[in-house]
C-alpha cells in the first residue's frame, strides 16, 4: 500500500502544496506563486491542474491512498454565515449600506472581500487534484481532512522545530475566530491554551501601518515598512494615537471602540500619498514598528509565564517580522526561538499534511531523526536537460560547464564585484532565498546595494539586503549572535564590522542574516568559503532571484529572462556558468 499526505494551503493569498510520505519525509513543498509566476497568487488555486498532474507523477507514483488536508475548517464561523446571508460577500454587497462598521482598522469592504475570497477557496478546495486523481489513478482512494487554520500554523512550527517541548505562538491577521492562538507543545501533542475571538488583530494593525506609509498590503509590502523604519525616529503623537487604537491584556487583543475611528482619522494627516516622498513616512514606519514590538513582547512574555518554557515556536504572518524576531530573546525570557522557513500561510500546507499524518501515525513525527534540521530546500528543480537545450539553441550567451570548479570560479567573480544569479538544487520553501534561488554579491562596498536596487531589483533605495554568513564566523560579526537558518532574524552588526560589510549593513546597523552550515547546504557553504579565502570575509550579500513585484524564478526561462533584462553579470545554474557576450 502506497499512501501519501497532501497538504493544501487554500488561503486566498499565498496558496501552496506539500506532500509527505508515511514516514514523515517531506517529498515536496512549494508556494503556488512560483509555478504561476504570479506574486502571492491572489485568488488562485493551490493545485493548478497541470502542475498537480506533474507533481503526482513525480512524487506519488502508483498511489493507493491519498489524504488531502486543507488549512481551514469547512464549517464557517457564525458572523461569516450571517453576512453571507445578508449578501455582503457578493460583489455588489461589498459596498452594502446600513451595515455596522466593524471594530477594526480596516474598512468593512476590505474585511468582507477577504472573507468572500476565503469562502470561495474553501468551497473549491482540491477540485483540481481530484480531477487528476480520477483521471490517472482511478483505483486510488481519497480521504479529505480539514483543520483549524491556526492549528496548521502551529503544526508546521512545532513539528519542524528541533524542540521536544516548547511554547507556541500563532499571530497573524485572522483565522476562523480571531487573529491569534497560543499552544503548549509537549509529548508530540499540541495543547491549545487560548484562541482570540473577534476583530482585534496585530496583523490588521500592521496592515494599516503599511497602508498609511503608502504601501500596499495586498501585495505583501509590509517588508517595506520594516526597511523604511530604520530611517525614522519615534514620533510621540503617532505613538499615543496607536496606543489608543489597540491593546493586549494577557492573551487578549482588542481595538478600542471609543477611540479607534477617531484616532485612525487623526493618523490620516501622517499618511503618505502616492506623490509623497517615501522618506516622509519614515517616522510613521519606525513608530509603527516600535509599537508592534511592544505589543508582541507583552504577548510573548505572558505566554512564557503561563508555560514556563524556554523554547518558543513562532508562526503566522507576524512571524515574518525579522526586525522583531531578532529581539525576542532579549525582550522576553525565551532562550531559543524557532521560526519555520514558511511561517505564513504557504507554510500551513505542510502544517495540514503534518496534522493528517499525526492523526494516522502519531509516533512518526516523534522520531529523533525527524527533530533534527528541517531543510527548506523542498521545491522544484531546474534540470541540466533544460540547460542543454539552452546550449543547443543559444546564439548569444557564453555557457561553460564547470562541474569541478563552479564554486571556486563563481567566488572569484564575486570578489571582483560581479553580480551573480545563483541557482542550484531544489527551490526554497518560504519567502526567502537561502542560497538556491539567490542573487549574490560582494558585501564589502556600500555602492553594491544601490547597484542591485537600481540595476537588478528595480526597487526603492531604502530596501536592505541580507548577509549569508558561515556559522563558525558569525559571532565575530553580530552582537548576541544566535542561529538564523531561514533568514528569520535581524541582528545588530558589530560596530567594528559595519564598514567592512557595508552593502549588507542597514541604516540602523542591523542585518537580517542567514546562518550557513556545511551540513545544511554544502554547495552554498563551499561558495562562501571560497569567497572567504579570496577576501577574508566569510559572508555574501544575498537577495532573492527576482525583480520587484515578481516571485522567485521558477524555470530556466524565468532565470534567463531576468538575467538578460537586468544588470546581472553572471548566471550560474547547477554546474553551468553563463555570461553575457561582452563579459
Per residue in 515-571, pLDDT (tens digit) is 999 999 999 999 999 999 999 999 999 999 999 999 999 999 999 999 999 999 999
Q: Residue 213's pLDDT is what?
A: 95
Q: Residue 261's pLDDT is what?
A: 86
Residue with cell 464561523: 77
Identical fold, 3-72+125-159+343-366 and 202-338: yes
Per-residue pLDDT reduced to its tens digit, 237-296: 999 999 999 999 999 999 876 778 888 899 989 999 877 788 889 999 999 999 999 999
Q: Beta-carbon neighbour count of residue 95 at 10 Å?
A: 12
Give the separation between CA 230 and CA 240, rounded to whole angstroms.
20
Q: Residue 276's pLDDT is what?
A: 78
Q: Residue 367's pLDDT is what?
A: 65
Sheet bearing 510-516, strands edge to edge:
398-401, 576-579, 570-573, 420-423, 437-441, 539-544, 466-470, 510-516, 489-492
Helices (H), ranges, 192-347: 202-212, 222-229, 236-243, 260-267, 282-307, 322-325, 328-331
347 and 378 Cβ atoms separated by less than 8 Å: no
21 to 5, 101, 507: CA distances (angstroms):
6, 47, 45
Give the separation between CA 8 and CA 14, rounded to whole angstroms.
11
Give the mean pLDDT of 466-479.
98
Q: Give one word for 319, left, alpha or beta, with left for phi > 0 and alpha for psi -120 to 50.
A: alpha
**Superfamily for domain range 202-338:** ATPase, nucleotide binding domain (3.30.420.40)
Cell of 409: 570560479
Q: Which of 124, 76, 16 is nearest to 348 (CA)?
A: 16
Give the separation between CA 223 and CA 225, rounded to whole angstroms.
5
pLDDT at 583 over 60: no
Give the separation between CA 521 and CA 389, rounded to whole angstroms.
27
Q: Residue 305's pLDDT is what?
A: 98
Give the mean pLDDT of 121-133.
98
Cell of 114: 477577504
CB burial string 121-159: b at 16+ within 10 A, e below: bbeebbebbbebbeeebeebebeebbbbbbbbbbbbbbb
Whole-number average pLDDT of the chain: 96
Contacts of 350 (CB under 8 A, 6+ apart): 7, 16, 18, 20, 26, 29, 155, 156, 160, 342, 429
Per-residue pLDDT reduced to its tens digit, 208-232: 999 999 999 999 999 999 999 999 9
pLDDT at 370 over 80: no
- 384-579 CATH choice from 1.10.630.10, 3.20.19.10, 3.40.50.720, 3.90.870.20: 3.90.870.20
Angle, helices 282-307 vs 222-229, to 10°: value is 100
Per-residue pLDDT reduced to its tens digit, 30-78: 999 999 999 999 999 999 999 999 999 999 999 999 999 999 999 999 9
Per-residue pLDDT reduced to its tens digit, 430-462: 999 999 999 999 999 999 999 999 999 999 999
Cell of 39: 506574486
Percent of the chain residues past pLDDT 70, beyond the cut: 98
Cell of 24: 514523515
β-bridge pairing 311-315 and 165-171:
parallel
pLDDT at 320 over 70: yes
510 and 492 Cβ atoms separated by less than 8 Å: yes
Per-residue pLDDT reduced to its tens digit, 12-30: 999 999 999 999 999 999 9
Q: Domains of the chain: which residue ranges?
A: 3-72+125-159+343-366, 202-338, 384-579
Query: What is the residue-wise DSSP string for 231-247?
Result: T----HHHHHHHHTTEE
Give the separation between CA 198 and CA 455, rounded to whole angstroms.
45
pTM of the model: 0.97
Half-sphere exposure of 353 (CA within 13 A, CB side): 29
Give the mean pLDDT of 74-97.
95
Per-residue pLDDT reduced to its tens digit, 351-362: 999 999 999 999
Indicate the fold that domain 3-72+125-159+343-366 takes in CATH.
Nucleotidyltransferase; domain 5 (3.30.420)
Q: What is the dihedral of CA 153, 54, 61, 368, to 10 degrees?
A: -30
Which pLDDT band, with edges at 50, 70 and 90, does 9 fall under? very high
Percent of the chain residues past pLDDT 90, beyond the cut: 92
Amino acid at each position: 500500500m502506497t499512501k501519501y499526505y497532501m497538504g493544501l494551503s487554500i488561503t486566498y493569498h499565498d496558496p501552496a502544496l506539500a506532500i509527505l510520505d508515511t514516514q514523515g519525509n517531506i517529498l515536496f513543498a512549494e508556494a503556488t506563486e512560483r509555478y504561476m509566476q504570479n506574486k502571492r497568487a491572489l485568488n488562485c488555486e493551490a493545485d493548478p491542474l497541470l502542475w498537480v498532474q506533474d507533481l503526482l507523477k513525480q512524487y506519488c507514483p502508483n498511489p493507493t491512498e491519498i489524504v488531502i488536508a486543507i488549512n481551514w475548517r469547512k464549517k464557517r464561523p457564525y458572523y461569516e454565515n450571517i453576512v453571507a446571508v445578508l449578501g455582503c460577500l457578493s460583489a455588489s454587497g461589498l459596498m452594502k449600506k446600513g451595515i455596522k462598521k466593524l471594530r477594526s482598522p480596516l474598512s468593512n469592504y476590505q474585511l468582507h472581500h477577504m472573507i468572500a475570497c476565503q469562502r470561495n477557496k474553501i468551497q473549491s478546495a482540491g477540485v483540481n487534484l481530484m480531477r487528476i486523481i480520477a483521471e490517472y489513478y482511478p483505483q486510488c482512494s481519497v480521504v479529505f481532512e480539514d483543520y483549524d487554520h491556526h492549528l496548521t500554523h502551529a503544526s508546521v512550527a512545532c513539528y519542524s522545530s528541533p524542540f521536544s517541548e516548547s511554547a507556541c505562538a500563532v499571530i497573524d491577521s485572522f483565522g476562523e475566530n480571531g487573529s491569534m492562538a497560543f499552544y503548549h507543545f509537549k509529548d508530540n501533542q499540541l495543547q491549545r491554551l487560548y484562541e482570540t475571538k473577534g476583530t482585534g488583530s496585530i496583523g490588521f494593525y500592521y496592515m494599516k501601518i503599511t497602508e498609511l506609509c503608502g504601501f500596499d498590503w495586498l501585495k505583501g509590502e509590509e517588508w517595506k515598512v520594516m526597511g523604511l523604519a530604520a530611517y525614522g525616529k519615534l514620533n510621540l503623537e503617532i505613538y499615543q494615537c496607536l496606543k489608543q487604537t489597540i491593546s493586549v491584556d494577557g492573551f487578549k487583543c482588542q481595538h478600542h471602540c471609543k477611540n479607534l475611528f477617531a484616532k485612525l482619522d487623526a493618523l490620516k494627516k501622517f499618511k503618505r500619498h502616492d506623490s509623497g516622498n517615501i522618506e516622509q513616512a519614515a517616522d510613521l514606519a519606525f513608530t509603527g514598528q516600535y509599537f508592534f514590538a511592544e505589543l508582541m513582547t507583552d504577548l510573548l512574555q505572558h505566554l512564557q509565564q503561563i508555560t514556563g518554557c524556554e523554547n518558543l515556536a513562532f508562526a503566522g504572518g507576524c512571524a515574518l517580522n525579522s526586525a522583531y524576531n531578532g529581539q525576542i530573546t532579549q525582550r522576553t525570557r525565551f532562550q531559543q526561538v524557532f521560526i519555520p522557513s514558511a511561517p505564513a500561510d504557504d507554510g500551513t500546507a505542510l502544517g495540514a499534511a503534518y496534522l493528517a499524518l499525526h492523526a494516522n501515525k502519531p509516533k512518526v513525527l516523534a522520531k529523533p531523526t525527524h527533530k533534527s534540521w528541517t531543510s527548506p530546500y523542498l521545491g522544484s528543480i531546474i534540470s541540466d536537460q533544460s540547460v542543454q537545450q539552452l546550449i543547443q539553441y543559444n546564439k548569444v550567451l557564453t555557457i561553460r560547464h564547470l562541474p569541478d570548479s563552479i564554486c571556486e570560479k563563481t567566488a572569484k567573480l564575486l570578489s571582483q564585484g560581479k553580480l551573480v544569479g545563483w541557482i542550484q538544487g531544489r527551490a526554497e520553501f518560504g519567502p526567502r532565498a537561502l542560497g538556491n534561488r539567490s542573487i549574490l554579491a560582494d558585501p564589502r562596498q556600500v555602492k553594491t546595494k544601490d547597484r542591485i536596487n537600481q540595476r537588478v531589483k528595480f526597487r526603492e533605495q531604502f530596501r536592505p539586503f541580507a548577509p549569508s554568513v558561515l556559522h563558525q564566523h558569525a559571532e565575530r560579526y553580530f552582537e548576541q549572535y544566535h542561529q538564523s537558518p531561514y533568514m528569520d532574524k535581524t541582528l545588530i552588526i558589530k560596530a567594528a564590522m559595519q564598514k567592512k560589510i557595508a552593502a549588507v549593513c542597514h541604516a540602523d546597523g542591523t542585518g537580517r542574516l542567514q546562518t550557513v552550515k556545511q551540513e545544511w547546504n554544502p554547495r552554498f557553504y563551499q561558495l562562501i568559503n571560497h569567497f572567504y579565502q579570496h577576501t577574508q570575509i566569510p559572508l555574501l550579500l544575498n537577495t532573492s532571484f527576482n525583480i520587484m513585484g515578481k516571485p522567485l524564478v521558477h524555470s530556466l526561462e524565468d532565470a534567463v529572462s531576468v538575467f538578460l533584462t537586468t544588470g546581472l553579470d553572471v548566471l550560474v545554474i547547477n554546474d553551468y556558468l553563463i555570461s553575457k557576450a561582452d563579459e
